[in-house]
């Protein structure tokens, strides 16, 4: 306890120092932290019996879930335990924040990992590699990478495969990293299995009718970080932000509305789900550190259990071959994948009209109507429930 108290005290002192904003200071502290030392003594671990620690300013509390909103069959279809068996926590001072330690059924994480690496990375979805390569070169990252990853341990000095160079993929309404906006004409069908999973989790947290419309998948290496930011580009902030983690553990920092507020640090382990809603929906947050497994290049224990041979006939989870999981497992030994899912628009809401460019303001209405429909599309791209 003495070492833990010292770690908490040093973190609090660091955050109180003048100059650099408090969030940035703690981001740097955890970025440079040493696993297995007192550096991580102030990080909340929801997977064990959580106690009030961290910055000392926030206490862990139990969160109530809406057990009756998701029946056991639908939970099973998504690969989840019955909601009555989930554990859910919140933090005093962060209303609307819910942390659910791994609610997945044994083996079912395999499906979601495989989808992130094999299916969601395919075209027409968009990824960071598109800026440097042609569509043909990024058409199927899995096929181009699987043999490299399958024999990764045999030849560790080989160049990184394309999947190992992947940093992000966008789904549904594709986020524009330059304009920080979504648009109706930049859309591809959202994956139906991920939409179903997200709807069940949102309903369990009290958000009936949640529509999964946009997703950002982040692919982390052991040296990766996610900078301090706020997710505010969605037009409807009344709906939650859902976050799913798989693979190696990481440290997540949840701060305040301003960066001069010191954040609270917590571990995210494989299978953990975070929900940011209400007040917490627009708070600063970041990931300063992905933590290497203390046993070396190995998988978290929860990923060692295989996917059951018999799956629900009407479920969204598909079988995963031994060969496919070998590729996924080798990838995850030194990596982490995170899926964030958002509802962009309120029900029956359309994207706003974009301002007309200055040089086009004098065009007559007749001429304006002749412009390409793609450039003038402002209506909501309706989701196909069967897609």
Which token pair is 185? 């004409």
Query: Residues within the annotated binding site for Fe cation?
Result: 229, 231, 285
Largest CA distance in the chain: 77
* 201: enclosing H helix or E strand: helix 192-204
Which token pair is 221? 């290496």
What's the half-sphere exposure (Cβ side, CA atoms, 13 Å) at 241? 23
Cα separation, 94 vs 241, in Å, equals 14
Written as tens digits, the pLDDT of the chain (387 aa) is 444 444 555 565 555 554 569 999 999 999 998 887 888 999 999 998 665 444 444 689 999 999 999 999 999 999 999 999 999 999 999 999 999 999 999 999 999 999 999 999 999 999 999 999 998 899 899 999 998 888 766 455 667 899 999 999 999 999 999 999 999 999 999 999 999 999 999 999 999 999 999 999 999 999 999 999 999 999 999 999 999 999 999 999 999 999 999 999 999 999 999 999 999 999 999 999 999 888 777 899 999 999 999 999 999 999 999 999 999 999 999 999 999 999 999 988 999 887 654 444 333 333 333 333 333 333 333 333 333
Query: Residues within the annotated binding site?
Result: 229, 231, 285
**How many of the other CB atoms lie within 10 Å of CB of 311?**
18
b/e 26-57 (16+ beta carbons within 10 angstroms → b): bbebbeebeeeebbbbbbbbbbeebeebbbee
């Amino acid at each position: 306890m003495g070492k833990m108290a010292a770690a908490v005290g040093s973190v609090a002192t660091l955050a109180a120092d003048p100059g650099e904003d408090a969030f940035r200071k703690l981001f740097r502290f955890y970025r440079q932290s040493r696993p297995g030392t007192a550096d991580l003594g102030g990080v909340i671990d929801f997977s064990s019996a959580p106690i009030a620690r961290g910055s000392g300013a926030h206490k862990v509390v139990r969160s109530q879930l809406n057990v009756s909103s998701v029946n056991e069959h639908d939970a099973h279809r998504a690969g989840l335990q019955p909601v009555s068996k989930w554990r859910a926590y919140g933090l005093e001072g962060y209303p609307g924040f819910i942390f659910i330690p791994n609610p997945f059924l044994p083996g079912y994480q395999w499906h979601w990992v495989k989808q992130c690496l094999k299916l969601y990375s395919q075209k027409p979805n968009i990824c960071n590699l598109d800026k440097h390569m042609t569509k043909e070169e990024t058409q199927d990252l899995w096929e181009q990478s699987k043999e490299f990853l399958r024999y990764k341990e045999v030849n560790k000095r080989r160049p990184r495969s394309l999947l190992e160079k992947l940093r992000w993929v966008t789904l549904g309404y594709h986020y524009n990293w330059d304009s920080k906006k979504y648009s109706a004409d930049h859309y591809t069908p959202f994956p139906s299995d991920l939409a179903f999973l997200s709807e069940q989790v949102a309903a369990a947290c009290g958000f009936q009718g949640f529509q999964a419309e946009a997703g950002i998948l982040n692919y982390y290496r052991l040296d990766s970080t996610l900078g301090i930011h706020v997710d505010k580009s969605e037009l409807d902030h009344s709906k939650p932000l859902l976050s799913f983690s798989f693979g190696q553990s990481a440290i997540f920092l949840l701060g305040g509305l301003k960066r001069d507020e010191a954040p609270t640090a917590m571990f995210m382990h494989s299978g953990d789900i975070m929900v940011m809603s209400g007040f917490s929906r627009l708070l600063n947050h970041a990931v300063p550190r992905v933590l290497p497994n203390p046993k070396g290049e190995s998988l978290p224990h929860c990923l060692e259990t295989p996917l059951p041979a018999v799956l629900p006939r009407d479920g969204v989870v598909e079988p995963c071959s031994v060969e496919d999981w070998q590729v996924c497992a080798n990838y995850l030994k030194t990596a982490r994948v995170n899926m964030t899912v958002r509802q962009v628009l309120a029900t029956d809401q359309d994207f706003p009209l974009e301002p007309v460019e200055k040089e086009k303001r004098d065009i007559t209405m007749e001429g304006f109507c002749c412009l390409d429909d793609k450039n003038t599309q402002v209506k909501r791209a309706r989701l196909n429930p069967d897609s």
